[in-house]
Structure 1
Amino acid sequence: MTQVTERGESLSSASALERGRAAALTASFLRGSIAACLGLGTVSVLVMALWISSPYPDSSASGALHVAFALWLLAHGVDLVRPGTLGGTPAPVGTVPLLLTAVPCYLAHRAARDALEPQQGRPQLTAIGAVATVSGGYLLVAACATWYAQGGAFTASPLRAAIFLPLVVVAATSVGAWTGTGRPPLPLPRRLPVSARAWCGRTLWSVGARRLTGLALRAGAASVAVLLGGGAVLVAVSLIWHVQEAETSFLRLSVVWSGRFAVMLLGLVLVPNAAVWGASYGLGPGFALSTTATVGPLSGAGATSLPSFPLLAAVPQSAGGWPHWSAAAVPVAAALTGGWLTVRKAAPAYVDRSQAWSAGGTALAAALSAVVAGGLTALLAAAAGG
């Protein structure tokens, strides 16, 4: 009788554990779906508010909702196509507003982070489980949004959506899960041979290597922040210099306040893109206006025909001279920031010489921070350029 009772209690506890695990996975899946719905709802509210306030809407409420869904997909890097143009030729929409992208990425990140918070009465999810379930719930809503957006003024490529949506969502949820677990160091792959694991533990995964990598990441990120800030300053100065052209363009695009508010809102969500373009200008390569025109300190836009838009009024029409060459101060300031942070950590003031890093270690950290800054800048340039 006692054995039967103990077996019944063990089965009951195992069943309760399974139910708790299933409840935790379901809750995590719902977190992902709710995060996607929140982002989609935010964009939809803005678009519908602009549609309601417009005195001359050119579509129905359903059409405006289709546009909202398409813009939400664009925020994830999915290229759109506008088939109904004046010339009859479908026009691609590939420039992703980075400020708009920050909203769904933050929501997915937060959903994965919150899914790993311990809850009374439920087993703790693993990081992989949180990423899988949150991403699954998010992508389920994204699949429905992709299907719904096909019948609107902007259509999304299902192939591009199948590629970029999972990439963006899994990346955001992975960072969120890593944050939720306390930002632990990456573990060694389990399938490595014992000798390889021992070698990695002494070199790549050693305490010194992790300290070096952390310093390089922080210094590289700081350099990119200074670079983007300098790019934003360049754009602001150019806009002030061409304020009359920007004002004329702003007033020409719409004659009603709702339309001008929409233009202003579009300009705001493109400010991070403009900062990246300004940083590229300061670095020297510049940015491309078309397949044949590139704007940089040594080459202006010239006679290139540009659409009427306030931000585009800041594009330099000429090149050469100290006003354009002075943009090189932006990457110099970014490099000095990365170097200063590296030296400050490697050789702090008022410490014994034996506690400071070696010259080779300091140089290696500075070189790695430059690689990190270059990689992040290239990634942002690719995202901002469309």
Structure 2
Amino acid sequence: MAVVIEMTARRRSPVPLLTRMRDRSPGLVGGLTGGALAAGLGLASFAVLVMLLWISSPYPDSGPGGAMHVAAALWLLAHGAELVRTDTLSGVPAPLGLPPLLLLALPVWLLHRAARDATDGGGGDEDHDFEEDDFEEDSEAVAGPPLVSPRVAWTGVVLGYLAVAAPAALYAAGGVLRPSWVWTGVCVPLVAVVAAGAGVWSAYGRPGRPLRRLLGLLPGGVRPLVLGPDGRPGVAARAAASGAVVLLAGGALLVVASMVGHGAATQTSFFRLTEGWSGRFAVLLLCAALVPNAAVWGAAYALGPGFALGAGHTVGPLASAPAPFLPPFPLLAAVPEAGKGAPVHWAAGVVPVVAAVVVGWTVAKGAASRERGGTKPGGTRAPVWSAGRTARAAALASLLCAAVLAGLAAMAGGPIGSAVLSRFGPVWWQVAAATLAWLGLLAIPTAVGVRAWRCRSSRAQEPKIGKQRDDAAEGARGRRRLRGHGSGWFTRTGVAGMAGVAGAAEGARGTGRAGRDAVGGDVWDLEDPGVARGTEHRGRARPDASPADGTPSPHSSDLTPDGPRAPHGPGPRDQDRETDFGLFDFLPSGPAPEPYDAEAPPGRSGPADTP
């Protein structure tokens, strides 16, 4: 007897093993791992970019160690931390605190993704006796492993991220660009806390109750305007976001228009700054990273305060002070010339005007949001806001938009050196005051006026919509009345046409029997062309088929209210009725009279009496 020895062993798929390991790992460990991985990926991305530029540079002034120090310093600068440059000509350290806002997108996205994945990891802590029940009550039930506690996932991601950020800051301190410990200790943890919290909130379905608890300090009449009862942003919040988007888009448009107008100077500065293609590529990347900053600067210019190009040198639409000596840079070449503003510069005021109109229109749309929809059939009319409440909502939206622009202005500026270069970018409180003034003066009247117009136009449309609704209801009642009386009176040609169409369809199937009529009556057998073709009313029995010679069957009968009626043979009218019909002859040519009001056709019994 032969013995078979199995020489190969089947490998188990690693997917179930990884799944079990992930499910068995505690939630805190998963959060720590995710946070550390997010920080490592961010550092690696900056290191790869800087190393590529260093390798492609024809004149590198430092070794690979110096490039890695610069990469770590840029990663910290992306979080908003201020750097200090030590290798200056004067020997005095110069600060560098103008962070490219586009670089901030990478750490925020990595933290958000890590926190969301750590929360969705499942199988974590089983005890749910924590204050984060607000997340679970508002979140929908999702099939799969249970979600990790929000506090555990958030704490793990933040601690894991900071555990990698601290050694990176220590490593960057040994390079040319050294991080400021105060700014690093504030900005990096702040970004980690906010981004990780947003990721956990997103994993739980974005519940509204935690936001309501954060907004608990606001007055009761203000909270619904900021956060709606369904957890979505309120009218004031949506209007403020719309105004901020319009201001930023308008600022970016102004920057593009200025660069096109100063195309020769922009091109010259781009080619004078460096000669190698690698250096030009680095300048192009830096300009792309500074595009959000330029949009904020353009919005500040359109609002009126403008921005500073050094201490004591402000650029605005009304007047621009002579700027100090600046390095040739494409974005700086688009700065308007020094001197008093011209009408082409004053045209930048269109941007805040459009933003104010958008804010007012959004508030008015929310104030009378269902006025038009309430007049539709089945719609529910919501109470229209008063003029005072609409004005308060517009004022709150203006205040929120001013706060957003102030925060962006504070992030988009900073020093790029000492002495004259210690102040670059817009001043946040000036931007906030200008935004509040523009929107407060224009958005509030716009909101009140548009609300009144929407209410007036809605009242003007009510009679027309009501008449259309009454006409539709009358037509529906007429159709129901016709259906309630049965199939109605048809012409002889029409009934013959219905029977002929049905008989042709059944004959094609080989049955030789007619189907039921669309109005509910039975159709007779059509083997004999001389036999009557059907009945018009429900409740009549279908007669048996007639013989081929045209003699009625002894069992043929037609039940009427007065009793059985003797069958009749084919007549001339029946033959004409069979041969002369069209496909759509059964359709009535005009409005048919009521069945009980019209006189029955000759030779045809009337409808059955209904009880």
TM-score, normalised via structure 2 length: 0.56
Q: Larger deviation: 359-368 or 116-125?
A: 116-125
- Residue 131 of structure 1 deviates from its aligned partner by 1.8
Match of 1:4 in 2: none
Choose 1 or 2 for highest CA Rg. 2
Report the counterpart of residue 266 of structure 1 in structure 2.
286
For the pair 1:211 / 2:232, whether they are aligned, the reply is: no
What's 1:103 paired with? 106
Alignment of 1:208-287 (within 5 A): 210-211=227-228, 214-287=234-307
Q: Which amino acid aligns with 1:149?
A: A
C-alpha distance in structure 1 between counterparts of 2:259 and 2:402, whole Å: 27
The structure-2 alpha-carbon separation of the partners of 1:26 and 1:204, relative to structure 1 and needing over 3 Å to count, comes to farther
Amino acid at match of 1:299: A
Q: Structure 2 residue aligned with 1:372, among 366, 384, 400?
A: 400
Partner of 1:93: 96
Cα drift, residue 341 of structure 1: 1.7
**Residue 64 (structure 1) aligns with:** 67
Partner residue of 1:330 out of 351, 362, 383: 351
Change (3 A) 1:176 1:303: closer
* Distance (Å, rounded) in 1 between the aligned partners of 2:88 and 2:105: 29
Give the C-alpha shift of residue 204 in structure 1.
6.1
CA distance in 2, matches of 1:38, 1:294: 40
2:330 is aligned, of 305, 310, 329, to 310
Task: Identify the match of residue 119 of structure 2 among 116, 119, 125.
Answer: 116
Report the equivalent of 1:9.
none
| Cα distance in structure 2, aligned partners of 1:167 and 1:144 | 17
SS in 2 for 1:81: strand
Q: Of the candidates 76, 80, 105, which is equivalent to residue 77 of structure 1? A: 80
Is the CA contact (8 Å cut-off) linking 2:27 and 2:121 kept in structure 1? no
Moved more, 153-162 or 295-304: 295-304
Task: Look up the match of 1:194.
Answer: none
| Cα shift readout 1:75-119 (whole Å, capped 9, x = no counterpart) | 011100110123322221100100001111121122112222253
Shift of the alpha carbon at 1:21?
8.1
> Matched residues in 2 for 1:284 and 1:206: separation?
31
Distance 1:157 1:29 in 2: 26
Q: Distance in 2 between matches of 1:326 and 1:287?
A: 17
Report how many residues are paired. 360
Residue 303 of structure 1 deviates from its aligned partner by 4.9
Which deviations, in whole Å up to 9, do the C-alpha atoms of 1:192-232 show, x marking residues without a partner? xxxxx9xx899369767732862222221121111100000
Equivalent residue, structure 1, for 2:197: 174
CA contact (8 A) 2:314 2:321 kept: yes
C-alpha spacing 1:41/1:350, structure 2 compared with 1 (3 Å): same
After alignment, is 344-353 or 204-213 more displaced?
204-213
Q: Tell me the alpha carbon deviations over residues 47-77 of structure 1, each in whole angstroms, 9 at most, x when there is no partner.
A: 1100011111011011001000000000011
- 1:128 counterpart residue number: 151
Please state how far the C-alpha of 1:306 moved relative to its aligned partner: 2.0
User: How far apart are 1:186 and its partner, in Å?
Assistant: 3.9
| Counterpart contact for 2:123–2:148, Cα < 8 Å | no
Q: Which residue of 2 aligns with 1:350?
A: 372
Deviations 1:128-183 (A, max 9, x none): 22221111111111101100001111000222211111112111112222222222
* 3-state SS in 2 of match to 1:288: strand
Distance 1:163 1:364, change over 3 A: same
Distance 1:284 1:255 in 2: 38
CA contact under 8 A between 2:226 and 2:235: conserved in structure 1? Answer: no
Give the stretch that moved more between structures: 231-240 or 154-163. Answer: 154-163
Query: Which secondary structure state, in structure 1, belongs to the residue aligned with residue 95 of structure 2?
Result: strand
Name the Cα RMSD after superposition: 2.5
- Structure 2 distance, partners of 1:94, 1:36, is 21
Pick from 166, 189, 193: which aligns with 1:143?
Answer: 166
Amino acid at match of 2:260: I
Instruction: Quote the Cα distance in structure 2 between the aligned partners of 1:163 and 1:203.
Output: 33
Q: Distance in 2 between matches of 1:368 and 1:206?
A: 11
Judging by fraction of residues, say which structure has more helix: 1
Structure 1 residues 209, 244: closer, same or farther in 2, change over 3 A?
A: closer
CA distance in 1, matches of 2:159, 2:24: 17
Letter in 1 for 2:120: E
Task: Pick closer, same or farther for the CA change 1:208–1:80 going to 2, 3 Å.
Answer: closer
297-306 vs 325-334, which deviates more?
A: 297-306
Kept in 1: contact 2:23–2:123 (CA 8 A) = no
Give the Å deviation of 1:326: 0.6
- Specify the alignment match of 1:25 in structure 2: 28
Q: Where does the alignment leave 5 or more consecutive residues of structure 2 unmatched?
A: 1-21, 127-146, 375-380, 415-611
Match of 1:51 in 2: 54
Does the 8 A contact of 1:226 with 1:334 survive in 2? yes
